[in-house]
Amino acid sequence: MKNRQKSGLHAVKVEKVPTGIQGLDSITSGGLPRGRTTLVTGNPGTGKTMFGLEFLVRGAELFKEPGVFVSFEENVEEMVANGASLGFDLSKLCSDNLLFMDFVRVERSEIEETGEYDLEGLFIRLKYAIDSVGAKRVALDTIESLFAGLPNTAILRAELRRLFRWLKDRGMTTIITGERGKDSLTREGLEEYVSDCVILLDHRVTEEVSTRRLRIVKYRGSEHGTNEYPFLIGDNGFIVLPITSIGLAYSVGKERISSGIPRLDAMLSGLGYYKGSLVLITGTAGTGKSSMAATFVDAACRRGEKAAFFAFEESPDQIMRNMASIGVNLVRWKDSGLLEFFAERPTAFGLEHHLMKMIHIVEKINPSVVVIDPFSNLPDVGSFKEVRSMIQRLIDYLKGSGVTTLLTSLTSGKRDEEMTDVGISSLADTWLLLKTIEAGGERNRGMYILKSRGMAHSNQIREYVFTDNGIDILDVYVGPEGVLTGSVRLAQEAKERDREEALRKEIERLEINLEKRRSIMEAQLAQVGKEFEYEKNSLANEIDKKNIALKAIAQHKKEMAVSRKADEQGEG
Amino acid sequence: MKKDRKETAADAFEKALKGPSDAKYVLRLYVTGSTPRSQRAIKNIKKICEEHLKGRYELEVIDVYQQPGSAVEEDILAAPTLVKKLPPPLKKFIGDLSDMEQVLLGLNIVPKS
């Protein structure tokens, strides 16, 4: 009968059975201990039954390991209905011989003890069930009900001990569920019998929002995550979030992406944000955080990249309308499918639900950039610590996936501006701080880069304005009292414009003068040339005349000699 | 052994109303093989039946090792288990039935003085 021998004295690494429950296998580094019993405990309504059910269903569907579900609380019809709520077709699994369900009803009023007995009936049923589908997995839910039905706990305890031994000997990977007791893990101390693996489920309501948690209390012979992990029971079963296991191991690139505002890119050493980094934009109300975010998304879509916009404050339509007013047309990206909006009230779900939903969406659409606007609304849902841990997990996840994330956060004017509500600023790679600058009876918008890891960024406070063509970062005018903004800046600009104008006029005047001089000089030159020409001609005439006269004299001399018949050598 | 159960059920109910003395009993004893405990249970229930229910009882002894499906059908958990199908209400006695008084009380049988 024994298909599994007890392991010897030497240490044997625990063999594991993947549960197929999303996330759980990475917390347990591989699943539950094979051929052993795992206790799943928790208060009523924490999802113990669902846990057991999914363990079997996934086993049957994903790993072709048939399972036996023995319920001590609900009948087969109710179990089928429970399964349907998670999208499991239990009837089909049963008819495919991948699942066997049995309902053990223990009704105290019907039962009378009349002497010695054992629970062999239960063993026979289990054996019958295991044999009829060739089961590898067993779930007993909730075996503690037996304590209510059978008065003789001494027998019951002995028999339970025998049962767990029996299941182990058969190599059944078993889940037993138990109700959490006041001071112990289970009401009846089942953890005494199960020493291999204990998982605790918790469901708590903090400020009217419920969150589910899972913790591995014990896992003999195996490493495991020790944190409390949020989990969700959704339409598709359990999802556990082992995000922290990603840790800080993600790789980073040197690639940069534009912020969508050329002059902001210039402030970020000319190239924009690092790809896969976390950009945090904080600011008081009305400083244009959403507009910055929208511009960033717009730029990504222009490059043909996918973007996911998680809106926790405004509806997508409202965002698109508002952004259209500053010339950022998001509608076309939404229509073309590059941009997807996910708008939700923060209080609509618990934190872990939000987190998992976001991760689910990111996995589904695989965006290059993600915007969460604003994440500072999330603390409505949970405590400071919870939100921070959630954001941390999300950021770890997004960074691990190479997604560039932009978070906006509202800071109240009263508090220190260089602080975020959930203290995640240390996680941010680039932090832009938007602030209103009050001067000269006006409020104007100013921004500066509080930090930007890994780049030589600008240290200036810059004023920016919304135009019909998006956000424009303006030139810096520094006055005696710091950066000039608004109409003071305009005045300063005007003053400078006037000065420029005056100089330009002066230059123009000088140029005209120069031109005049040149034309005078040229006219004079022409005149001199003309005079020279004239004199040159008259002098040439004179020279000609003289030459002719000279020739005439020579001719005369010759003629005289001829007439005197003088010899040619003798002269005179 | 299973003869005309429908009629029997109605009759038995009537009889149960009239009193315990002449009600018809339908009993099933589920045992696990021929262990000493099973033997004891069989001996005990036979004794009770012969002494108190002579002529108005049906007793079926079922070995759940032989018919594991029957354990599922009758929702058997412990062994041995005696199921009182009739007269109503349905009752289960777990154990080897050596606590005679408890069994008689549970079966609603007034011991003959």
**Nearest Cβ partner for A112 among B65, B75, B102:** B102
Structural domains of chain B, with CATH: 24-105 (3.40.30.10)
Residue among B51, B44, B47, B49 nearest B25 (CA): B49
pLDDT value for B19: 52
Spell out the residues 6+ positions from residue A418 whose beta carbon is closer than 8 angstroms to its own. Answer: A425, A433, A450
Q: Report the 3 state secondary structure along A341-392.
A: EEECCHHHCCHHHHHHHHHHHHHHHCCCEEEEECHHHHHHCCCHHHHHHHHH
CB atoms within 10 A of CB A545: 10
Q: Is A200 touching B (CB cutoff 8 A)?
A: no
Closest Cα of chain B to A153: distance in Å?
A: 13
Q: How far is A106 from chain B (nearest CA, A)?
A: 8
The beta-carbon contacts of B40-46 under 8 Å, at least 24 apart in sequence, are: B40/A115, B40/A116, B40/B96, B40/B97, B40/B98, B41/A115, B41/B80, B41/B82, B41/B95, B41/B96, B41/B97, B44/A115, B44/B96, B44/B97, B44/B98, B44/B100, B44/B103, B45/B82, B45/B97, B45/B103
Residues of A in contact with B75 (CB under 8 A): 103-105
Bridge partners of residue A308, in order along the sequence: A340, A370
Q: Considering only CB atoms, which chain B residues are within 8 Å of A101? A: none
Mean pLDDT of chain A: 83
* A357-411 pLDDT, tens digit each: 787 788 788 899 999 888 777 766 666 666 777 777 778 778 877 889 998 888 7
Please report the pLDDT score of residue A175 as a whole number.
92
pLDDT surpasses 50 at B58: yes
Rounded to the nearest 10 degrees, what angle do helices A316-324 and A289-302 cross at? 90
Cα A75 to Cα A89, A96, A102, A105: the distances in Å are 16, 20, 8, 8
Token pair, residue A472, equals: 């424009």
Q: Do B79 and A150 touch (CB under 8 A)?
A: no
Mutation target to probe the B interface, by most B beta carbons within 10 A, among A101, A124, A163 is A124
Q: How confident is the model at residue A6 (pLDDT cuts 50, 70, 90)?
A: very low
Q: What is the Cα–Cα distance from B113 to B111, expressed in whole angstroms?
A: 6
Q: Where are the beta strands (DSSP E) in A98-208?
A: 99-103, 111-113, 137-141, 173-179, 197-206
- Under an 8 A CB cutoff, do B80 and A104 touch? no
* C-beta atoms of B32 and A121 within 8 A: yes
Q: Range with the lowest mean pLDDT among A486-495, A523-532, B50-59?
A: A486-495
| A153 shares contact with chain B (CB less than 8 Å) | no
* pLDDT on residue A185: 80
Is A108 part of the contact surface with chain B (CB cutoff 8 Å)? no
Q: Which of A58-62, A173-177, A424-428 bottoms out in mean pLDDT, i.e. has the lowest? A: A424-428
Cis bond before residue A230 (omega within 30° of 0): no
pTM, entire model: 0.61
CB B90 to CB A110 under 8 A?
yes
Q: Do A121 and B77 lie within an 8 Å CB cutoff?
A: yes
Mark yes or no for CB contact B71/A124 under 8 Å. yes
* Residue range A80-120, pLDDT digits in tens: 988 888 888 889 888 888 899 988 888 888 888 888 888 88
Distances (CA, A) of A255 to A437, A451, A474: 34, 18, 27
Chain A residues within 8 A of B97 when measuring between CB atoms: 114-115
**A105: contact with B, CB 8 A cutoff:** yes
Q: Does A111 touch chain B (CB under 8 A)?
A: yes
The answer, for A121 touching chain B at a CB cutoff of 8 Å, is yes
How far away is chain A from the Cα of B1, in angstroms, using its nearest Cα?
23
Confidence of residue A571 (pLDDT cuts 50, 70, 90): very low
- Which amino acid, A155? I
DSSP at B58:
E
A532 vs B: CB within 8 A: no
Checking if the pLDDT of A480 tops 70, the result is: no
Residues 6+ apart with CB under 8 A from A568: A561
